[in-house]
């Protein structure tokens, strides 16, 4: 089998579609290299002294794990000096990170969730990294936080890595979705799946059912109909999966279909859902749509939202098109 590396894929993509400018190509390669470094640290586990709590909190009041902080630092350091970025933003930093003055600046802005699925780090379950790429406003060398608040439809690239039994990188630049597997011996990313497509129909769903008593009526209705199975209104049995690492749940859905939900619920109106728009929902929505799926808040398309805050949360329904459309219809009818 002829092996196509990430570099070769990006160069050929640039040539044939003119869709990946050289600076964006560099950016993607640098992020991929950082993910390789994170994967290496994850793989060491206890031997690398990377497990456990860092005994600090991020701006969202979540206790940070050592790997949350380490992964954030790896991504920052890798991306600072290349000249491809104007600024960065991360789940683990209160405000944006400017490129130090000693380095040249570029036209892109990078956002990331350095380590997704933190609760799974210490128990050896798949975790990952999510990233989103935006363009800085023209001629803007030192963007402000407000410059980051662009709708997801403006993303020029997005991707995620999963650190699991295999380390994979899933990428879109707006021309479909491709998956690369890390060859650990060679240290290179190899193209292993091209133009991934999420099956439109599915019999699998993912939701944290322990929150059921807080759900709003449209979600209660949708889930109870799935649970009713063959003898219920849907006339078929559904299966449930919840990994608690969005990247891993989404990777399953990309491969065999399904619907992933983290709805808003009746608890705290200032926290609609759990996932963050800018560096979790938007990049995953971009990938899911590029793979033929759908991603909504229950009432509107995620990528149409005009963000108001860097760390804002958003309800999420994404995956196989027919299911996302159905649960969205239930919200609109309510
Ligand atoms: P993070 O580790 O970056 O904070 O994100 C975790 C997210 C997401 O990956 C996952 O789907 C969800 O939180 C898990 O939520 P529960 O703890 O409610 O299962
Ligand atoms: Mn996350
Ligand atoms: Mn995280």
Three-state SS annotation for the chain = CCCCEHHHHHHHHHHHHCCCCHHHHHHHHHHHHHHHHHHHHHHHHHHHCCCCEEEEECCCCCEEEHHHHHHHHHHHHHHHCCCCEEEEEECCCCCCEECCCCCCCCCEEEEEEEEECHHHHHHCCCEEEEEEEEECCCCCCCCCHHHHCCCHHHCCEEEEEEECCCEEEEEECCCCEEEEEEECCCCEEEEEECCCCCCCCCCEEECCHHHHHHECHHHHHHHHHHHHHHHCCCCCCCEECCCCCHHHHHHHHHHHCCEEEECCECCCCCCCCCCEHHHHHHHHHHHHHHCCCEEECCCCEHHHCCCCCCCCECCEEEECHHHHHHHHHHHHHC
User: How many Å apart are CA 110 and CA 310, to the nearest integer?
Assistant: 12
Supply the DSSP symbol for 279: I
Distance CA 160, CA 280 (A): 10
Return the best residue to mutate from 59, 245, 313, 314 for the ligand 1 pocket (most ligand atoms within 8 A of CB): 245
Pairing state between β 108-116 and 97-98: unpaired
Q: What is the pLDDT of residue 297?
A: 98
Cβ of 244 closer than 6 Å to ligand 1, yes or no, is yes
Evaluate whether 252 touches 284 at the Cβ level (below 8 Å). no
- CATH level 3 topology of 204-333: D-Maltodextrin-Binding Protein; domain 2 (3.40.190)
d(CA 246, CA 118): 10
Residue nearest to atom 18 of ligand 1 (CA): 208
pLDDT band at residue 1 using 50, 70 and 90 as cut-offs: confident
pLDDT of residue 200: 95
CA distances from 156 to 31, 150, 171, 278 (A): 14, 12, 11, 13
Is there an atom of ligand 1 within 6 Å of 246 CB?
yes
Mean pLDDT value of segment 1-8 = 93
Would you state the pLDDT for residue 23?
A: 94
188-208 pLDDT, tens digit each? 999 999 999 999 999 999 999
- Closest ligand 1 atom to Cα of 120: 2
Q: What is the DSSP letter of 292?
A: T
Separation of CA 92 and ligand 3 centre (Å): 7
pLDDT in tens, 83-124: 999 999 999 999 999 999 999 999 999 999 999 999 999 999
- Residue ranges covered by each domain of the chain: 6-193, 204-333
In three-state secondary structure terms, 269 is coil
68 close to ligand 1 (CB < 6 Angstrom): no
Domains 6-193 and 204-333 share a fold: no
Atom of ligand 1 at shortest distance to CA of 242? 19
Note the CATH architecture for domain 6-193. Answer: 2-Layer Sandwich (3.30)
Collapse the DSSP code of 114 into the 3-class scheme (helix H, G, I; strand E, B; otherwise coil) and give the result: strand
Q: 119 CA to middle of ligand 1, Å?
A: 7
Residue 277 carries which DSSP code? I
Q: For residues 12-30, give the mean pLDDT.
A: 91
Percentage of the chain exceeding pLDDT 90:
92
Confidence of residue 138 (pLDDT cuts 50, 70, 90): confident
Short-list 87, 180, 190, 193, CA closest to 134: 87
Secondary structure of residue 77 in the 3-state scheme: helix
Percent of the chain with pLDDT over 70: 100
113 lines ligand 1 (CB under 6 A): yes
């Amino acid at each position: 089998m002829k092996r196509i590396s990430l570099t070769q894929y990006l160069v050929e993509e640039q040539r044939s579609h003119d869709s990946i400018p050289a600076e964006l190509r560099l950016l993607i390669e640098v992020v991929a290299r950082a993910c390789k470094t994170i994967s290496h640290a994850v793989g060491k586990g206890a031997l690398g002294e990377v497990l456990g709590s860092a005994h600090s909190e991020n701006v969202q009041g979540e206790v940070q794990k050592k790997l949350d902080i380490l992964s954030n630092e790896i991504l920052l350091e890798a991306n600072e000096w290349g000249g491809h970025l104007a600024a960065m933003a991360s789940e683990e930093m209160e405000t944006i990170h400017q490129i130090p003055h000693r380095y040249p600046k570029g036209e892109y802005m990078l956002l990331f969730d350095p380590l997704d699925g933190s609760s799974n780090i210490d128990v050896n379950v798949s975790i990952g990294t999510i990233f989103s790429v935006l363009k800085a406003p023209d001629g803007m060398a030192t963007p402000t936080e407000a410059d980051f608040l662009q709708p997801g439809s403006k993303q020029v690239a997005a991707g995620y890595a999963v650190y699991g039994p295999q380390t994979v990188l899933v990428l879109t630049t707006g021309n479909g979705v491709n998956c690369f597997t890390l060859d650990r011996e060679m240290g290179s990313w190899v193209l292993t799946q091209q133009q991934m497509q999420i099956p439109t129909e599915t019999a699998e769903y993912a939701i944290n059912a322990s929150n059921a008593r807080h759900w709003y009526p449209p979600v209660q209705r949708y889930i109870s109909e799935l649970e009713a199975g063959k003898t219920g209104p849907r006339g078929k049995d559904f299966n449930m999966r919840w990994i608690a690492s969005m990247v891993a749940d989404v990777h399953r859905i990309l491969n065999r279909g399904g619907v992933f939900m983290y709805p808003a619920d009746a608890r705290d109106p200032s926290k609609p859902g759990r996932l963050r728009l800018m560096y979790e929902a938007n990049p995953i929505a971009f990938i899911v749509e590029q793979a033929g799926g759908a991603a909504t808040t229950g009432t509107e398309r995620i990528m149409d939202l005009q963000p108001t805050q860097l760390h804002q949360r958003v309800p999420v329904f994404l995956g196989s098109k027919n299911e996302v459309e159905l649960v969205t219809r239930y919200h609109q009818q309510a």
